[in-house]
Amino acid sequence: MVKRNTARNTTRAKAAPRASAGQKVSADGRRREVNHVQLLREGQLLSKAELARRAGVSALTIDRIERGEGCRLDTKRKIILALGLKVSDKERVFPQ
C-alpha cells in the first residue's frame, strides 16, 4: 500500500507568530499587548473588582487586559481615568 502525500498526512512546521511593537507572543502562540495595568492597580492597593467598578467595566475585562489581551480604545481610556491618571499619561499604562 502506497501512502499518498495528502493534506491529512503531511505536517508542516508552522511559522511562529511574530510580535509587533507593544506586543509579545505567549507560549500558546497568542499575541499579547504589554501593559502596566496590574502594576499600577496593585501599587494603589486596588482589587480587580474595585478598579472595574471605578472604570465601569467588568472584573473579567480587567483580568483579560492584565493578561495582555486587547481591548477597545474607550475601555483603555476608562481604565486610565479610573487609575487617577490623565489620558495624556496613556504611555504609562499602555506603552507602545
pLDDT digits (tens, 9 = 90+) for 13-45: 555 555 555 555 656 666 677 899 999 999 999
Q: What percent of the chain has pLDDT over 70?
A: 68
- CA 10 – CA 55 distance, rounded (Å): 49
Domain membership of residue 37 as a residue range? 30-90
Q: What percent of the chain has pLDDT over 90?
A: 62
Asked whether residue 47 is assigned to any structural domain, the reply reads: yes
What global pTM score does this model have?
A: 0.69
Number of domains in the chain: 1
Burial label, 82 (beta-carbon count in 10 A; 0-12, 13-18, 19+): buried
Instruction: Please report the pLDDT score of residue 96 as a whole number.
Output: 81
Q: Read off the CATH number of the domain in which 35 is found.
A: 1.10.260.40
